[in-house]
Structure 1
Amino acid sequence: MLLNPTDCTDNLDSFQSLKNMKESRSLLCSILPQRVILSIMGTLAIAAAYTIRSCISMAITEMVVSVDDGNHKGKAEEFLSRAGTKYNWTQTQQQAILSSFYVGYVISHIPAGLIAEKFGGKWTCSLGVLFMAICNAFTPLTIEYGGWMALIAIRILVGLGGGTTYPALGVLLASWVPQKERGKLGSFVLGGGLIGSMLSNYFSGLILKTYTWEMVYYFWSIVCVAWFILFTLTCSNDPGSHPFITEKELAYLKKEMGQTKRDDDTPPTPWISILTSVPVWAMAIGLIGHDWIFYIMSADMPKYFKDVLKLDTADNGLYSSLPFLCTWIVSILSGFLSDLLITRDIVSITNARKIFSTLGAIFPAVFLVAASYAGYDKEKVILMFTLCMGFLGNFFTGLKVNALDLSPNYSGSLMALTNGLAGMAGVVVLPIVGVMTPNSSLEEWRFVFWITLGFTILRSVIYIVWGSAEIQPWNHRPARNVTPECGIKVDLMKKDKENQNNQS
């Protein structure tokens, strides 16, 4: 069959266009390293997941009858008929709804970590967030036909998707980020939840001011679907399989990390060694202490501002977002400072993790208690909450990246285990808070904050004494497919090459 010259020209033009596109992508990667692009998209992954996790905290302030209206029993029916879509849920029911996410969140952590280690973190992370977005979009319909119990069920499903994010990103970071960049890039990525919480609170407040609470769920689901498309087009499981990474960056990562392509033949996770590791349990307890504070702030701060400080919807969204902005800024600065102290041999990696972990534990709890003693002074309370969340930012370069220190090879499983255990704080603490604050009074919240301070001091002592950032012995994988014959062949090949060099 004869070829038409025009077809050949078209094919050449198509080939040249493809070549030009690849050169453009390579140029982008040379300007902005691919590990930085992955870090940005990883940050947005957690941010996207947190918008869906957190949006209910703002939405529920307009979904339910407020404490003041509920206390006027004679006007309750009048208020309900006037409000239309509002529900007369008790404080205990509301806290059960807010905590239900963490049930699914805890359950999916370990399976997600194992899947990410076996098949890579890209699809584990992206499909998890997509699943969250789909379930979240069906939330208003679920409430309409099933009530608050059905809402709990669908929030558990949302949590199942959310539980994949940290384990999958732990695997991706271990594949992409060298140890000496782990403080700043790790803090940047794992601090994405702060960006998500900040954006969720602020924009949800604006949406609630103009539209109904149902629009909050639809809006954030659309945002997460957009992220899913962008992430899947720009990211890969590892540097060795990325089509547009530069040779310079690949050589750098090879030098710093030794391996730039995932090994799909993953040996079984050494669970017995992990579960009997003292540094692992010290990290897990530290994470529980952090999440105790973080979940109270992210889930209950909008309710505190409305029920105690009587802020309106728009102000609530604004002032609920400011503390998370402060946390994110501090997490970035502390990440750079931590890496600087380590690279200049001022402190060891272990001591750096302990210093920043302690700063991110004690001071937040102290300012939390101080907020309760500021009474009803809005400016002082907002300042105390902002300082609380600001110091909490030190946690990310302290404890949050610790799983990557202890075991780069099994970081997915390790992060799944410890972060899953920490997620139990949401399952247990939030319902207890609901029982302890039936009237959402200042005195009830003060007691909650004092208990938080006590546990925070205990967890800090445990991590200071038993925490570590040294690579654990069980991280090293056993050599595979090595036989004496193979060793002999390698030795003979080396000797032949040496003889050839000597002869030349």
Structure 2
Amino acid sequence: MLTGWRLKLSKLFIIPQRYVMAIMALFAVANAYTMRVCLNLAITQMVKKSTNVEGEEHYDPNVCMDASLVRNYTNTYYRDDDTVFFEWSEATQGLILGSFYYGYVLTHLPGGMLAERFGGKWVLGLGLLSTAICTIITPVTVKVGGATALFILRVIEGLGEGPTMPGLMAVLSRWAPKEERARFGAIVFGGAQIGNIAGSYFSGLVMHNGSWEDVFYLFGGIGLIWFVLWTMLCYSTPNTHPFISDSEKQFLNENVDALKHTKAQKMDPTPWKALLRSVPLWALIVAGIGHDWGYFTMVTDLPKYMTDVLKFNIKSTGILSAIPYIAMWISSFFFGLLCDFCVKRGWHNITNARKIYTTIAASGPGICIILASYSGCDTTLAVFWFVAAMTVMGAYYSGMKINPLDISPNYAGTTTAMVNGIAAISGIISPYLIGLLTPDSTLAQWRVAFWVCFGVLVFTNIVYVIFAQGEQQWWDDVKKYGYPSDWKHGPLPTKAIDKEQNNEDVKEKK
């Protein structure tokens, strides 16, 4: 029962605490993405612009021209406001843009294990705190050490942010009732679009009126503010929350599977043997690779495409780069509500829901970006197709993104770490490959890059549709489901065997 100050505090919050947590988690994801992607737009102003002049070796008559961008540069180049340019090739820029994911991949799995053992609050919070600090010191680092120092800093930033998504999923697995998961997914993971919107729009605005350095100070500072609020308002589980109402706590304990383990029934060790042999989990990983390839192509390289190919100025690039993410954010809520509604009505089960919405989120964007590349220099039509691509990608949050909570509510941190960690390899490969495929940033070169993206999206989605599942897997709770008849790899490690069961085993041996 709540007493004294806890009762008074609980009455201050009209919104249920699970939605307070969801809103703060939304801002967590938003902050993570603004700090992660602000370099994507800033680098267009940090690097010397390429030229496309008739008579040059790589002249392309199909390139969208902007006379203001055709200039001569010396080895040292400064803007009128004394902002420094850097002379980095497209391949070097691709390496820098992908460097974040080198660290991000490495700490995903340890982050998931830490979140399951100690709770997701501090794993998520401290991870984003480290990202904020790295973001703030980016301008000084790159000016002192150039491309190499920036590469190293971004790897370190990725190391810090790697545990955040597993930490977030560990928190969600203890706060999101099964019937509300798609809704929670739309709210929380829609923060990625808020981050992309804010990162694109405000980066363009700030750089139009200031310099690229200001972008890192802005978003790093916001990250520090979020960390303070997160530590004050949010907790790893409803049962450790100091001012949640009794009615909401009871509701969550009755409807959240991960809260049904009592102190006498502590979680078993992570069932690695079963995880590594789980076909639905590997299908989810493959789908994650495809989605991340398409998503990172848009997030990382869309600003470069708009600046280098369509020749928008930085303010227009910021605004127009934000529009597709606004569309994705809005559509994610629509798809989330539609998914929950259809499941409750029994029109399709959870497994089919995840497959349907993942297919929409994979095939739709693949088709749209191909159409955008064939729009040539018709900027209005190209932007329309990019917006359409991200709109249908909003179905992703009701599809595979929330799927780890379906198949493994008890080990959501670890399974999410496996999915996101392995899938994030796309964030390393795709920017660098695009840099190699588009050395001169011509329209024809970018078209090839978009066809590659289309192929990856379609192939990985086919694998997911064939093998995905939407129900809790047996290895997530062996006591409840037992071992499948075809399991021939020995018992999974346990240390939470009930005393009664243990006594029965001893009697049988005697």
C-alpha RMSD of the superposition: 2.1
Q: Deviations over 1:250-305 (max 9, x none)?
A: 11112212564887854321112111111011111111111101101111111110
- The normalised TM-score by structure 2 is 0.88
Q: Which residue of 2 aligns with 1:482?
A: 498
Q: Which residue of 2 aligns with 1:137?
A: 136
Distance, in Å, in 2 between the alignment partners of 1:443 and 1:234 is 51
Secondary structure at the counterpart of residue 173 of structure 2? helix
Q: Which residue of 2 aligns with 1:319?
A: 320
Q: Which residue of 2 aligns with 1:171?
A: 170
How do 1:179-258 residues align onto structure 2 when only pairs under 5 Å count?
Answer: 179-257=178-256
- Report the AA paired with residue 496 of structure 2: R
Distance, in Å, in 1 between the alignment partners of 2:337 and 2:501 is 49
Shift, 1:23, TM fit: 3.8
Distance, in Å, in 2 between the alignment partners of 1:135 and 1:343 is 44
For the structure 1 residues 73 and 393, does the alpha-carbon distance in structure 2 shift closer, same or farther, using more than 3 Å as the test? closer
- Report the AA paired with residue 25 of structure 1: L
Q: Which residue of 1 aligns with 2:442?
A: 441
Distance, in Å, in 2 between the alignment partners of 1:79 and 1:148 is 15
Please point out which of 55, 77, 80 is paired with 2:77. 80
Asked whether the 8 Å contact 1:360–1:393 carries over to 2, the reply is yes
Distance, in Å, in 2 between the alignment partners of 1:281 and 1:483 is 35
- Report the AA paired with residue 36 of structure 2: R
Distance, in Å, in 1 between the alignment partners of 2:9 and 2:295 is 39
For the structure 1 residues 74 and 173, does the alpha-carbon distance in structure 2 shift closer, same or farther, using more than 3 Å as the test? closer
Distance, in Å, in 1 between the alignment partners of 2:173 and 2:393 is 24
For the structure 1 residues 352 and 334, does the alpha-carbon distance in structure 2 shift closer, same or farther, using more than 3 Å as the test? same
Distance, in Å, in 2 between the alignment partners of 1:465 and 1:261 is 32
Q: Deviations over 1:195-243 (max 9, x none)?
A: 1011000001111011111111111110000000001100011001101
- The normalised TM-score by structure 1 is 0.89
Asked whether the 8 Å contact 2:101–2:155 carries over to 1, the reply is yes
Distance, in Å, in 1 between the alignment partners of 2:471 and 2:372 is 37
User: Which structure dedicates a bigger proportion of its chain to helix?
Assistant: 1
For the structure 1 residues 134 and 81, does the alpha-carbon distance in structure 2 shift closer, same or farther, using more than 3 Å as the test? closer
- Report the AA paired with residue 269 of structure 1: T
Please point out which of 25, 31, 37 is paired with 2:20. 37
Q: Which residue of 2 aligns with 1:67?
A: 50
Q: Which residue of 1 aligns with 2:484?
A: none
Q: Which residue of 1 aligns with 2:296?
A: 295
Asked whether the 8 Å contact 2:372–2:381 carries over to 1, the reply is yes
Asked whether the 8 Å contact 1:173–1:186 carries over to 2, the reply is no
For the structure 1 residues 388 and 212, does the alpha-carbon distance in structure 2 shift closer, same or farther, using more than 3 Å as the test? same
Distance, in Å, in 2 between the alignment partners of 1:184 and 1:420 is 24
Distance, in Å, in 1 between the alignment partners of 2:314 and 2:79 is 18
For the structure 1 residues 173 and 97, does the alpha-carbon distance in structure 2 shift closer, same or farther, using more than 3 Å as the test? same
- Report the AA paired with residue 110 of structure 2: P
Distance, in Å, in 2 between the alignment partners of 1:230 and 1:372 is 43
Shift, 1:28, TM fit: 3.2
- Report the AA paired with residue 224 of structure 2: V
Shift, 1:100, TM fit: 0.2
For the structure 1 residues 158 and 261, does the alpha-carbon distance in structure 2 shift closer, same or farther, using more than 3 Å as the test? farther
Q: Which residue of 1 aligns with 2:378?
A: 377
- Report the AA paired with residue 353 of structure 1: R
Q: Which residue of 2 aligns with 1:7?
A: none
For the structure 1 residues 482 and 229, does the alpha-carbon distance in structure 2 shift closer, same or farther, using more than 3 Å as the test? same
Shift, 1:332, TM fit: 1.1
- Report the AA paired with residue 295 of structure 1: F
Is 1:425 the counterpart of 2:426? The answer is yes
Q: Which residue of 2 aligns with 1:502?
A: none
Distance, in Å, in 1 between the alignment partners of 2:167 and 2:375 is 41
Shift, 1:485, TM fit: 9.5
How do 1:273-288 residues align onto structure 2 when only pairs under 5 Å count?
Answer: 273-288=274-289
Distance, in Å, in 2 between the alignment partners of 1:294 and 1:413 is 22
Tell which deviates more after alignment, 176-185 or 250-259.
250-259
For the structure 1 residues 225 and 203, does the alpha-carbon distance in structure 2 shift closer, same or farther, using more than 3 Å as the test? same
Is 1:158 the counterpart of 2:172? The answer is no
For the structure 1 residues 212 and 467, does the alpha-carbon distance in structure 2 shift closer, same or farther, using more than 3 Å as the test? same
Secondary structure at the counterpart of residue 176 of structure 1? coil
Question: Gapped runs of 5+ residues in structure 1?
Answer: 1-17, 489-504
Distance, in Å, in 1 between the alignment partners of 2:458 and 2:276 is 24
Asked whether the 8 Å contact 2:104–2:424 carries over to 1, the reply is yes
Q: Which residue of 2 aligns with 1:336?
A: 337
Q: Which residue of 1 aligns with 2:488?
A: none
Tell which deviates more after alignment, 80-89 or 225-234.
80-89
Tell which deviates more after alignment, 477-486 or 158-167.
477-486
Q: Which residue of 1 aligns with 2:396?
A: 395
- Report the AA paired with residue 100 of structure 1: S
Distance, in Å, in 2 between the alignment partners of 1:177 and 1:82 is 50
Please point out which of 2, 5, 10 is paired with 1:26. 10
For the structure 1 residues 252 and 487, does the alpha-carbon distance in structure 2 shift closer, same or farther, using more than 3 Å as the test? farther
Asked whether the 8 Å contact 2:42–2:212 carries over to 1, the reply is yes
Secondary structure at the counterpart of residue 76 of structure 1? coil
Secondary structure at the counterpart of residue 409 of structure 1? coil
Is 1:46 the counterpart of 2:29? The answer is yes
Secondary structure at the counterpart of residue 365 of structure 1? helix
Q: Percent identity?
A: 38
Asked whether the 8 Å contact 2:253–2:260 carries over to 1, the reply is no
Distance, in Å, in 2 between the alignment partners of 1:369 and 1:263 is 52
Secondary structure at the counterpart of residue 39 of structure 1? helix
For the structure 1 residues 98 and 78, does the alpha-carbon distance in structure 2 shift closer, same or farther, using more than 3 Å as the test? closer
Asked whether the 8 Å contact 1:361–1:392 carries over to 2, the reply is yes
Asked whether the 8 Å contact 1:365–1:453 carries over to 2, the reply is yes
Question: Gapped runs of 5+ residues in structure 2?
Answer: 57-68, 479-493, 505-510
Distance, in Å, in 2 between the alignment partners of 1:391 and 1:282 is 21
Tell which deviates more after alignment, 267-276 or 42-51.
267-276
Secondary structure at the counterpart of residue 268 of structure 1? coil
Q: Deviations over 1:438-497 (max 9, x none)?
A: 001110011111111122111111111111111111001557263349979xxxxxxxxx
Distance, in Å, in 1 between the alignment partners of 2:384 and 2:250 is 47
Shift, 1:161, TM fit: 1.5
Asked whether the 8 Å contact 2:37–2:300 carries over to 1, the reply is yes
Secondary structure at the counterpart of residue 68 of structure 1? coil
Secondary structure at the counterpart of residue 453 of structure 2? helix
Distance, in Å, in 1 between the alignment partners of 2:501 and 2:99 is 57
